[in-house]
Structure 1
Amino acid sequence: MRIRGTIVAMSVGALVACAGPKPVLYPNAHLQSVGSETAEADIKDCRQMAESAGAEQATGGKAGGVAKSTAMGAGIGAASGAVGGAITGSPGLGAAIGAASGATWGFLVGLFTSKSKDNPAYTNFVNRCLQEKGYEVTGWN
């Protein structure tokens, strides 16, 4: 039951992590005239153009940091649990409990501390594309 909850939490975290930052548009006359739906479609088009040109969105993704932290937590927890279990007479059970606890701890630490690093080539490409369409990018969130 505990492992199932951990898997669900990791899946939700991976989806959140994949969302990534997006450009924040200044509400100039062009944005006001086309509306938010068209602006979102233009952002999507500019992102696809950047990727087609060979620019990647991030140089180190948050999902990778979360996965690394989760794996490290599971390994440390399994080792600690095996030692504790060996002392009490059940190293296998101790390792399993330690791995689940360590993975959960590692996942949560990674989720709240890992950050993706924006690739300047990607953000510059998307910014220029949006500027040519009439938008003003104020930053990325």
Structure 2
Amino acid sequence: MVINLSKTTYISLLLSSILIITSCARPRPVLYPNDHFKEVGTKQSLQDIQKCREMAEAAGANATVKNGAVKTVENSVASAGMGAVSGVVGGAIIGDALKGATIGAASGAAYGLMQDFINGTARQVTNSTYINFVNRCLKEAGYDVEGWE
């Protein structure tokens, strides 16, 4: 059985797959290699990070704010609209405004999505309360948190 999909469908599936894969990346604290870190080692520090994460979640701090993906969709839709308008103009010049609008919308949506990936907007946004909780827990355990990646 062969399923024929349009090029636009293939592009949509590809971009959706990229969004799903990259949204699974989970930000983590970056620890400064102070004396405590050197003493316990990487394996123990990862266990301590996980313990602090679990404590934060048990206390009610949500790890992520769901608006990262929403912003990506909004930006992609806006870019698709701008692309469609530009495509109408280009299509009208060559005699097929509808085809131009379709190509412009697809190109605009792809541009908006890729721009969000480059700028990091597409990733999940980590909740500041959650970060503060984990940072405090790690500090009390003897670690120095330099930031999150």
The TM-score by the shorter chain falls in which range? Answer: 0.7 to 0.9
- Unaligned stretches of 5+ in structure 1? none
Instruction: Provide the identity percentage.
Output: 43
Superposed displacement of residue 97, structure 1? 0.9
SS of 1:21's partner is: coil
Q: Is the 8 A contact 1:70 1:104 kept in 2?
A: yes
Q: Deviations over 1:23-56 (max 9, x none)?
A: 1212233322332233223212322321232223
Aligned partner of 2:135 in structure 1 is: 127
Runs of 4+ residues over 6 Å off in structure 1: none
CA distance in structure 2 between the aligned counterparts of 1:14 and 1:44, rounded to whole angstroms: 23
Provide TM-score, normalisation by structure 2: 0.69
- Unaligned stretches of 5+ in structure 2? 1-6
Match of 1:134, as an amino acid? G
2:22 is the alignment partner of 1:8: no
The total of aligned residue pairs comes to 141
Aligned partner of 1:102 in structure 2 is: 108
Provide TM-score, normalisation by structure 1: 0.72
Judged with a 3 Å threshold, the aligned counterparts in structure 2 of structure 1 residues 41 and 35 are, in CA distance, closer, same or farther, namely: same
Judged with a 3 Å threshold, the aligned counterparts in structure 2 of structure 1 residues 56 and 118 are, in CA distance, closer, same or farther, namely: same
Q: What is the alpha-carbon root mean square deviation over aligned residues?
A: 3.1
Aligned partner of 1:140 in structure 2 is: 148
Judged with a 3 Å threshold, the aligned counterparts in structure 2 of structure 1 residues 114 and 61 are, in CA distance, closer, same or farther, namely: farther
CA distance in structure 2 between the aligned counterparts of 1:120 and 1:69, rounded to whole angstroms: 23
Superposed displacement of residue 3, structure 1? 5.2
CA distance in structure 1 between the aligned counterparts of 2:91 and 2:39, rounded to whole angstroms: 66
SS of 2:27's partner is: coil
Q: What does 1:73-84 correspond to in 2, within 5 Å?
A: 73-84=79-90
CA distance in structure 1 between the aligned counterparts of 2:146 and 2:92, rounded to whole angstroms: 58
Q: Deviations over 1:37-77 (max 9, x none)?
A: 33223212322321232223355754333322112111222
CA distance in structure 2 between the aligned counterparts of 1:29 and 1:52, rounded to whole angstroms: 29
Judged with a 3 Å threshold, the aligned counterparts in structure 2 of structure 1 residues 44 and 92 are, in CA distance, closer, same or farther, namely: farther
Judged with a 3 Å threshold, the aligned counterparts in structure 2 of structure 1 residues 3 and 35 are, in CA distance, closer, same or farther, namely: farther
